[in-house]
């Protein structure tokens, strides 16, 4: 799925009100449902970005980790709704400890380079187990 | 590769690593069926698995290994019986890849389990060695 893009629109209460024509992630059945049913535990990650876009009325663009990889997210306020464009960038490769370590390093570099947010230092202790 | 592993994941291999018998849970989880080559469907390193199997065949003794593969930490037990190998495995830990917090927490947990299990296996090997040296049964 790396590189594939999809888009959707949510209303002021984070319900999915529209799904882009290209729907590679199978969001269609979730139309009318809260976004967090489609993205479990996603509120802690995306919620603050949505709040920022709503509060400022300006676009928010960043990279986040969610569901086995990083994704580029662009959030465009449109009236009381938000148009969200997402692109999968990198995938965690869990096959072996070697591929896990390598892909995690790539992901951490990406997250560290995204801006003022600092990389999560909790990774350091965990990664001592990896090659 | 999605492999459903649990305590009932057991299969029996012949001397060419072909599946002779497989538990329903394992067959449903990874599609291994009698006659299949088990090496094609393993979630762990093929070379490591073969090395331990050969050791079990050579020595006639059961061997345990703890190995990470496909998002899981697995404990694999290989028991030689006649010309066959009886292999069972269970999941000791799983990666939670949904969020970065979950990923780091599960990585820490797997690392701790791996360290603790390695100690246990080392102690068990040491105990066996001492029993051999001491002539115990």
CB contact under 8 A, A68 and B100: no
Within 8 A by CB and 6+ apart from B86, the residues are: B10, B11, B12, B78, B79, B80
Whole-model pTM? 0.76
Q: Which domain holds residue B103?
A: 95-137
In chain B, the residue whose alpha carbon lies closest to the alpha carbon of A122 is B104
Q: How near does any CA of chain A get to the CA of B134, in Å?
A: 35
| B72 in the same domain as B8 | yes
| B80 in the same domain as B20 | yes
Q: How near does any CA of chain B get to the CA of A79, in Å?
A: 30
Quote the mean pLDDT of chain B: 82
CA separation for the pair A99, B43 (Å, rounded): 14
Within 8 A by CB and 6+ apart from A109, the residues are: none
| B77 in the same domain as B56 | yes
* Chain segment A86-121, per-residue pLDDT in tens: 999 999 999 988 899 999 999 999 999 886 543 344
Q: CB of A122 within 8 Å of any CB in chain B? A: yes
Which chain A residues contact residue B114 at CB under 8 A? 129
**How many structural domains compose chain B?**
2
ipTM of predicted complex: 0.79
Nearest to A41 among B45, B70, B99 (CB): B99
| B4 in the same domain as B69 | yes
Contact (Cβ atoms closer than 8 angstroms) between residue B18 and residue B11: no
pLDDT of residue B125: 61
H or E stretch at A72: strand A69-78
A1-89 adopts what CATH topology? Beta-Lactamase (3.30.450)
| B81 in the same domain as B30 | yes
* Chain segment A26-49, per-residue pLDDT in tens: 888 999 999 999 999 999 999 999
| B61 in the same domain as B28 | yes
pLDDT at B15 over 50: yes
């Amino acid at each position: 799925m790396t590189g594939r893009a999809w888009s959707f629109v949510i209303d002021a209460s984070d319900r999915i009100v529209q799904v882009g024509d290209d729907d590679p992630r199978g969001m269609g059945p979730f139309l009318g449902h809260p976004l967090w049913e489609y993205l479990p535990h996603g509120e802690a990650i995306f919620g603050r970005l949505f709040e920022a876009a709503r509060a400022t009325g300006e676009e928010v663009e960043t990279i986040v980790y969610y569901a086995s990889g990083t994704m580029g997210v662009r959030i465009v306020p449109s009236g009381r709704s938000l148009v969200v464009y997402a692109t999968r960038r990198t995938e965690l490769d869990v096959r072996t400890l070697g591929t896990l370590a390598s892909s995690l390093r790539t992901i951490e570099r990406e997250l560290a380079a995204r801006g003022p947010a600092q990389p999560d230092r909790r990774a350091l202790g965990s990664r001592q187990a990896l090659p | 590769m999605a492999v459903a592993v649990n305590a009932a994941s057991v299969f029996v291999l012949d001397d060419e690593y072909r599946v002779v018998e497989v538990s329903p849970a394992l067959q449903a989880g990874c599609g291994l069926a009698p006659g299949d080559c088990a090496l094609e469907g393993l979630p762990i390193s093929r070379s490591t698995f073969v090395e331990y199997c050969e050791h079990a065949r050579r020595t006639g003794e059961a061997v345990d290994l703890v190995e990470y593969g496909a998002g899981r930490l697995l404990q694999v037990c290989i028991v030689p019986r006649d010309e066959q190998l009886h292999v069972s495995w269970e999941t000791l830990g799983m990666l939670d890849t949904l969020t970065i917090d979950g990923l780091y927490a599960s990585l820490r947990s797997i690392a701790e389990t791996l360290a603790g299990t390695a100690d246990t296996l080392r102690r068990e090997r040491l105990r066996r060695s001492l029993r051999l040296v001491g002539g115990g049964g």
